[in-house]
């Protein structure tokens, strides 16, 4: 069977497939779900330690710093 596609059309079809990232793939979604479940189970098992420690007060501040570091975009340095 012969392929009747124009090579330019084949390149655009291939580019769409290649531009798909790991996080949008089936394995990436399974990985995120697994990490979420592990985090929930760990939190449930250690809830007494989490709520009785003084670290719970600092958690919002730590989350703000982590979100700024990982999600801010690095002030336009990325290309």
Residue 77 has pLDDT above 70, yes or no: no
pLDDT score recorded for residue 23: 84
pLDDT in tens, 20-68: 788 889 999 999 999 999 999 998 998 888 788 787 788 888 888 888 8
Q: Put residue 75 in one of left, alpha, beta given phi > 0 → left and psi -120 to 50 → alpha.
A: left
Q: Would you say 54 and 47 are in contact if contact means Cβ atoms under 8 Å apart?
A: no
pLDDT score recorded for residue 9: 60
pLDDT score recorded for residue 16: 55
Is pTM beyond 0.85? Reply is no
Where do runs of H (alpha helix) occur along the chain? 7-18, 26-45, 47-52, 55-71
Q: Would you say 43 and 55 are in contact if contact means Cβ atoms under 8 Å apart?
A: no
SS3 79: coil
Q: Residue ranges per domain, the chain?
A: 7-76
């Amino acid at each position: 069977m012969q392929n009747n596609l124009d090579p330019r059309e084949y390149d655009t079809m291939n580019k769409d497939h290649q531009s798909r990232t790991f996080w949008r793939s089936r394995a990436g979604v399974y990985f995120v779900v697994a990490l979420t479940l592990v985090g929930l189970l760990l939190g449930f098992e250690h809830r007494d330690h989490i709520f009785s420690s003084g670290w719970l007060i600092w958690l919002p501040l730590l989350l703000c710093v982590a979100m700024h570091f990982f999600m801010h975009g690095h002030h336009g340095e990325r290309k």
